[in-house]
Structure 1
Amino acid sequence: MPDTAEPLHEHSTRAPAPRTPSTSDGETSRARDCVELRVHGVSGGQAEELLDVEPAMRVGGDRLAGFFRWRRKPDTETLPGMRREIFAWGNLTSGASSRAFWLLLMPFMMLNVAYWMRPGRMDDGQTGTRRVANIAYGAGVRLLALSLTMLIVLAAAGVGMDLVAWQCGGLGEECVRARPWLAFLASASSPLSAPGWSLLVGAVLPAAVVVVLWRLSRRTAADYEVVTGPVPPRHSEDAPLSHPDFWRNSEIMARLRSAHIAIAVSTVAALLLLPPLLHDLGGRGAPLPGSPGLWTAGAVLAGLLALVALLSTVSVLVPGKDARWNARADRLCRVLRDTILGLTAVIAVYTVWPRPGWVVEGRLPGSGTMLNSLFAVQGTLVVILLVAALVLFAVDRPHRHTAMRGLAGPSTAALGTLLGGAFSAALVYQGSLWLSGCGSMDAPEADCLALSPPTAYSWLQLAFAFQAIIVLIVVVVLALWLRGAVRAQLPKVTALYSRSVRDRRTWDIARSRAMGRMTEALPKILGALLLPVVPLVGLALYSIVTGRLVAGPMDAPMAVAGGFQGVAQDALDAMVAMGSLLGGAALVALVWIGRSAYRDRPTRQAVGAVWDVGTFWPRAAHPLAPPSYAERAVPQLTARVRRMAGENTGVVLSGHSQGSVLAAATVWQLPEECADRVSLITHGSPLDRLYSRYFPAYFGPVAFTDLNGRVASWRNLWRVTDAIAGPVRRSGPDGEEVVVPTVEPLPDPRSYDAPPGEARRPEILGHSDYTGDPAYAEAMWQVMPAGRPSGAPVPETYQGP
């Protein structure tokens, strides 16, 4: 693996003495005319803690046992006289208890992230192959996201409509004896036991899922809505995040939400319509005698439903750059959504229409075919994404640090789709086991209900088992690699600190430095996790070529093993059973984590940290994904900094970790006249090491060069032991790459031995506590912009607390 996290220059263990600010009246006034605006990283924190305004401060020891004294005013200032503000945005992702259950929406989030991972540039005026590949990539991700919504609804319908209403209800008294609480659906004396009414009751579950997703998306859109500033930023094609409307995504998201809700509702409507329509047609395509009006009405409803669903699918492909065109498309999508809602109501009446002699047999008609067809479409879309990404990488030639040669986006989309399928399979498969009372679908017990989920889910259970084996192999390989990396770091640590290799401290530092390089393994890990997708995509493409898109041709173990018997068959059966068990355990774990996060704030913050990384981008692909906090955070930061700079107050934007990404996005949104009054400090920043590599269309050396020209000064602090941060590379005058100062990484730990007055050695900080490092104060003094003339009054609006 490339050693990109290594320092460009090693240095001694002695901490550099920070430059002591002069106390002359002019320089003190300059400091007082500046504000240090800190933006925290993932999982947030309390505002008081971030501001360092607690009455007591630790002056020695550590978090377990330390020495404290009353805090003085100078203790809360990085530089004398410079006010400090904190932008605390953690509650946008980890504040409300209910947001812990966003874990279930992780597949949606991954599809949305994949949309922004395209390897091509986003400049205007694209033509030819570039334009075709860009359109294919965006359309492929949006259609894949739409298919994922349909997959989740099919899973809910598989439990409510297929297993409960159709199969269990069709078993009659046998179902009543096993599950007495279902007597209102299965008992012959119940008016709801008729197939049509039973289906309508079973549709409540998928309908509830649709309503919850719809309501959640609409509510978060209202909570995150902001207004734009009066002065737009200077837009540059080198920096797509400088577009004035980049963080105004409400109209596009509303249009996509209408389309997704329309497809979700049409999925439920199709499952309500197909069983009675097939009955009216006699099951073989010929109408039953004596019911011409009924089957004709059903055929008309089917045609209308297919037409409106097709238009809703096409609507997600409409580009949203032109405001007027986007507004018209939004109105059209709302009309299509409302039309499908009306059609569903009519289909419900058609479904419950009395049909003498209509009896339930087998699985729910149409559900297996829809599921198999959906998997085939998803496999085709993944192939389209792979081809589009390869073309974009070859034609556009993004910077040389791009991860996976441009295939990170399609890989993330495929992994999100696989995860959504695994969640769906676990839900249906475990639901069938619980409802039937069987220990296993492959070896049912004598007294359990004969329920049969779609056999396509068994393929996903098999993939889940393969995934578990791959994860174990990856963990073993990483452990072996880490062991070798630690040994490789030992000579560097001994040379750097002039200490013996036998000291445990030397090994601890070497291990931390090796851990700091673990991020370089992400592309290989992502590629390994995608291996189960290969047989699934192959199966889907084979189904398309051969036309064998039937509800359930055979069980997955039999399909794989073919004529092999004995050990091979037993092994495949065991893997399917293991996949079922792991899927159920994953669902239980998600529920447990959600419940713990609901009650416990630290757990909720840990869960929220996942969204801090994954929900930075606007919902341009999947509108039902967790909301983008940056859509609110960046405009808020921009408005605050613009006002301070407009009143001649210098601003030092200080961003840690994910906060540095928000700070950079804020600078790109500032008007041009703010450039000489705003400076930037990034510490522990993933701008280059993660965002530049995985989002090359929006971050990279060219974009960082543009960012550097929009601020008075920029310093970047990082450590070799930090697995997230690294040097930030920008393009030089001759096209070569140069590093944003500071070039050298910060020493970690600051000293090998315990400092005077302490009994413990300094801890290895890694990704944390950059603001406590002496180099931070030095960088603050170096970037401090000139404010208003000395002696000018300080506006009380911006006085710190």
Structure 2
Amino acid sequence: MLDMSAPATPPEPPVASDRPDPGPDRVELRVHGVAGGTAEELLDVEPAMRVAGDGLSGFFRWRGRDDTETVPGVRREIFAWGNLNSGSSSRALWLLLLPFMLLNLAYWTRPGRVDRNPGGARRAADHVYDGSVRLLALSLTVLITLAAAGIGMDLVAWQCTAQAEACVRARPWLTFLASASSPLSAPGTALPLGALLPVTVVVVLWCLSRRTEREYEVVRGPVPPVTTDAAPLSRPDFWHNGEILARLRSAHIAVALGTVAVLLLVPALRHDLSGGGSALSGLSGFGMVLAVLLGTVMTASAGSVVVPDADPRRNGRVDRVCRMLRDATVTVAVGVAAYTAWPRPSWTPSGRLPGAGATLNALFTAQGLLVLVLLVASVVLYVSDRAHDRSAMRGMAGPATAALGALLGGGFSAALVYQGSLWLSGCDALTPGGPACLELAPPTAYSWLQLAFTLEAVIALVVVAAIAVALRRATRAHLPAVTEQYARSVRDRRTWEIARARAVGRMTEALPAVLTAFLAPVAPLVVLVLYSSLSGDVITSPRPADTAVSGGIEGLARETVALMVSVGSVLGGAALLGVAWIGRSAYRDRPTRQAVGALWDVGTFWPRVAHPLAPPSYAERAVPQLAARVARMAREGADVALSGHSQGSVLAAATIWQLPEDCAGRVALVTHGSPLDRLYARYFPAYFGPYAFADLRSRVSGWRNLWRVTDAFADPVRTRERSGDGPEVPGVIAPAEPLPDPRAYDPPPGEALRPEILGHNRYTDDPAYAESLWKVLNDGGDHRS
């Protein structure tokens, strides 16, 4: 229960003349949060400063030296890391990698403890969890490859050329490929040309991953940190995972290119084995050899992602093997392309691309099974040895995040292929099959994902309505505390504004329920793929969504589901247009890019150890940079106060865990607006939590944590530690009480405006911040309350 009894105006910090001069060897090192600002803004060094008023009208004066020091004599320094995610225009393209990011997050949301010697069922469950997430991540790479191949190889190179003149009339620019008189219209030449699209997508992802790895690479420090089991982020190699990333990238690229090769090989080999070639001899024999080689290297590449990565030497060996498998896949793929291009006069395309539907169905089946396996592993980890009792969703946040990433990836893929087919065919999304409509048929499995799009839209409307009702109730619930704290009438508009701000600040607790609601369509999709695997539909094709859901009944039921599928297609297209518009705006406009970058500030903190093609982890560069800087200042005799706001507090904590032993006692910590306890301890319980925070407290000379009830991300930071052989002792990093927000109900003397409700912003303007900085630099900050 939150303590609302704090006075409206806490005691002011001592004035500068009452404080001892802290000397010239003390540093306040600020680390900003998401979507930071310019260096001048963060340092507060603009020539003019506002002393009263607001952004519309105010009073300013020239800033003096004392105005740029939070505590007299303590020099201020900032670490600006925002450009790691939003500095380059190309970062706008990362929007397309959101499903990859979610799968990478799922790896880190495991509910079990992370120590060096797990045993028994927990060790097995831990390996199963790792392998399931990495295989799901691999399936997303295959999924995006199949989407690109679905357009380039299936719709254009196969189905469009099969309709020849009709395709030319609908899309004249495809004359070079679809016209019967074109030498490129034969399947053996059209398919390799169509394969250029998925190959280009794979190569772009490959190059992007390699480039960002080089940009974010840092040198290891000469002295390792003090490593403890309570703090997994204290491991010396935690932010250096180049070998793991490299081997995973090689495996993903190999399987993606192998998928394209499969789609090239199956139609040609099927034609040869059906009598179009000499069965089991000549071309067909060569095709069978290629099929065996391709299956071998793809299986080995997929299996390499589940190899445990605890031993650095083993990582190096596996990396070399994965590179060899990748190169072997490229070689076999070139052979497959040559085999497919071999002239076959009797080979003509018809229907859908052979093998495409079966590959997609098998992939969806594998994803459904992996989600179930991941769910079982999470249950075992949560029950056998959970990290702590405050894990979100009872330890099921990992499977939920993975399932959401897979669903989002499938939705994007379905929308891409469906919109591509509509554009190529000239059909209307809501009324397909018109007289001038070219008949192009995407795989029927995509219709289920289009249906899921519509269901998600309905769920979104219900969630918004439910949140509105809950917010209104919560606002009323906060009114008594506000009236008591500020001694004002409940009828005043200002009272309701403060109560609503507090209610909004506490709405983050509804996140698990919202996530669960959006995952509702996953259950029927998993049931569908399981049914497909048992009924044999994986090899053939599942029934379209409208036929299967309505049970084959003609009339209203089937028409309703068909309409929902069509609406899902429109929503999917709108989602793609929205992503494209945001990406274009972010590419050209830095403020928009910073707003988009805020998403990556939260989602890309963790290293890429599940999906190597996800956006890079900025912390892999930021944390070693911070640790090296702080260690140098500490060794030179400076007392350093790390001040982290929002996501910057997470970077600050990770930095302290990476400091060597000789820096102990020279570094203090001030966190404000920090999500360490409220979000990270709940959703990443294996790496953050009361035991890890107790370990963090023992490494600093002082720690103060500032938070507000109106802050949607911050909370008190709870600790738990064992004193000798005695019981565990819980604690809270001081101050346990929230800062009042606003600081006063009425305007201060000489002002005509009431103080703003700040929520998550401007903690450094609060007098409590200067007081906390002074405390941690002088008396240790009263660690616990």
TM-score range, shorter chain: over 0.9
- 1:228 alignment partner, one of 220, 233, 252: 220
Equivalent of residue 647 in structure 2, options 658, 664, 668: 658
> 1:242 is matched by which residue type in structure 2?
S
2:109 matched to 1:79?
A: no
Contact 2:276/2:347 (CA < 8 Å) preserved in 1?
Answer: no
Determine if contact 1:122/1:240 at 8 Å carries over to the other structure: yes
- Structure 2 counterpart of 1:96: 88
Match of 1:179 in 2: 171
Q: Is the 8 A contact 2:52 2:59 kept in 1?
A: yes
Letter in 2 for 1:131: R
1:324 aligns with 2:313: yes
- Residue equivalent to 2:765: 772
Aligned-partner Cα distance in 2 for 1:571–1:765 = 48
In 2 relative to 1, CA 15–147 (structure 1 residues): closer, same or farther, beyond 3 Å? same
Q: How does 1:194-593 map to 2 (within 5 A)?
A: 194-282=186-274, 288-289=277-278, 292-440=281-429, 443-593=432-582
Which of residues 49, 63, 87 is equivalent to 2:41? 49
The aligned residue for residue 162 of structure 1 is: 154
Aligned residue type for 1:13: A
Taking the aligned partners of 1:31 and 1:259, their CA distance within structure 2 comes to 55
Q: Could you tell me which of 7, 16, 21 is aligned with 1:12?
A: 7
| 1:113 partnered with 2:100 | no
Amino acid at match of 2:13: P
Query: Could you list the per-position Cα deviations for residues 232-262 of structure 1 after superposition, in whole angstroms to 9, with x for gaps in the alignment?
Result: 1110001000000000011100010000000
Q: What residue ranges of structure 1 are gaps of 5+ in the alignment?
A: 788-801
Q: Please identify, of 11-20 and 70-79, the stretch whose mean Cα deviation from structure 2 is larger.
A: 11-20
- How far apart are the structure 1 equivalents of 2:58 and 2:331? 67
1:443 Cα offset (Å): 3.4
Would you say 1:671 and 2:660 are equivalent positions? yes
State the alpha-carbon separation in 1 of the partners of residues 478 and 559 from structure 2: 46
Whether the 8 Å CA contact 2:478–2:503 is kept in 1: the answer is yes
TM-score (normalizing by structure 1): 0.95
2:756 counterpart residue number: 763
The answer on 1:626 being equivalent to 2:619 is no
| SS of 1:679 mapped into structure 2 | strand
State the alpha-carbon separation in 2 of the partners of residues 50 and 290 from structure 1.
72
Partner of 2:51: 59
SS at match of 1:281: helix
Q: What is the CA-CA distance between 1:85 and the residue it aligns to?
A: 0.3
Distance 1:557 1:220 in 2: 44
Match of 1:124 in 2: 116
Q: Which residue pairs with 1:640 in the alignment? A: 629
3-state SS in 2 of match to 1:292: coil
Q: Does 1:617 align with 2:606?
A: yes
Matched residue, 1:738: 731
- 1:798 paired residue number: none
CA distance in 1 between partners of 2:479 and 2:401 (Å): 35
Kindly provide the CA deviation profile for residues 118-141 of structure 1, in whole angstroms up to 9, marking residues without a partner as x. Answer: 001111111110001000000000
- Residue identity over aligned pairs, in percent, reads 65
TM-score by length of structure 2 reads 0.97
Q: Deviations over 1:576-620 (max 9, x none)?
A: 111101000000000000011111111100000000000000000
Task: State whether residues 60 and 68 of structure 1, in contact with CA within 8 Å, keep that contact through their aligned partners in structure 2.
Answer: yes
Secondary structure, aligned partner of 1:784: helix
Inter-partner Cα distance in structure 2 for 1:288 and 1:33: 83
Match of 2:783 in 1: none
| Higher RCO (CA 8 Å, separation ≥ 6 residues) | 1
What secondary structure sits across from 1:482 in the alignment? helix
What is the distance in 1 between the residues matched to 2:495 and 2:237?
51
Instruction: Answer yes or no: is the 8 Å Cα contact 1:717–1:745 preserved in 2.
Output: yes
Q: Classify the secondary structure of the residue corresponding to 2:351.
A: coil
Give the C-alpha shift of residue 528 in structure 1: 0.6
Inter-partner Cα distance in structure 2 for 1:755 and 1:576: 59
Which stretches in structure 2 are left out of the alignment for 5+ residues? 781-785
Matched, 1:151 2:143: yes
Contact 1:36–1:651 (Cα < 8 Å) also in 2: yes
> CA offset at residue 21 of structure 1?
4.3
Q: Amino acid of the residue matched to residue 137 of structure 1?
A: Y
Instruction: Output the CA distance in 2 between the equivalents of 1:538 and 1:786.
Output: 60
Between stretches 96-105 and 420-429, larger displacement belongs to 96-105
CA-CA distance at 1:22 after TM superposition: 4.8
Would you say the 8 A contact 1:433–1:441 is kept in 2? no
CA distance in 2, matches of 1:85, 1:753: 34
SS in 2 for 1:37: strand
Given that 1:651 and 1:785 are in contact with CA atoms closer than 8 Å, whether structure 2 keeps it comes out as no
Q: Offset of 1:400 from its aligned partner?
A: 1.6
Q: 1:786 to 1:643 in 2, by over 3 A?
A: farther
Q: Could you tell me how far 1:573 is from its partner in structure 2?
A: 1.4
Q: Do 1:712 and 1:785's aligned partners in 2 also have CA atoms closer than 8 Å?
A: no
Q: Distance in 2 between matches of 1:454 and 1:188?
A: 25
Q: Quote how far apart the aligned CAs of 1:555 are.
A: 1.8
Aligned to 1:791: none
Of the three residues 716, 725, 728, the one matched with 2:714 is 725
Between 231-240 and 396-405, report the one with greater CA deviation.
Answer: 396-405
In 1, are the aligned partners of 2:279 and 2:285 still within 8 Å (CA)? Answer: no
1:505-531 deviation line (CA, Å, top 9, x unaligned): 000000000001111001111111100
Q: Within 1, Cα distance between the matches of 2:417 and 2:230? A: 47
Task: Give deviations 1:552-581, integer Å, cap 9, x for gaps.
Answer: 343210111014332222211111111101
SS at match of 1:32: coil
CA contact (8 A) 1:683 1:718 kept: yes
Name the CA distance, whole Å, in 2 between partners of 1:503 and 1:786.
42
Counterpart CA distance in 1 for 2:739 and 2:646 is 15
Q: Is the 8 A contact 2:272 2:279 kept in 1?
A: no
Measure how far apart 1:33 and its partner are. 1.4
Task: Give the Cα separation in 1 of the matches to 2:455 and 2:729.
Answer: 44
How far 1:153 sits from its partner (Å)?
0.3
AA paired with 1:532? P
Q: In 1, are the aligned partners of 2:552 and 2:558 still within 8 Å (CA)?
A: no
Q: Distance in 2 between matches of 1:301 and 1:261?
A: 19
**Distance in 2 between residues matched to 1:570 and 1:547, nearest whole Å:** 27
Kept after mapping to 1: 8 A contact 2:145/2:259: yes
Contact 2:702-2:779 within 8 A present in 1 as well: no
Contact 2:273 2:280 in 1 (8 A): no
Superposed CA RMSD in Å reads 1.3
Whether 1:754 aligns to 2:747 is yes
Question: Is 1:39 aligned to 2:36, yes or no?
Answer: no
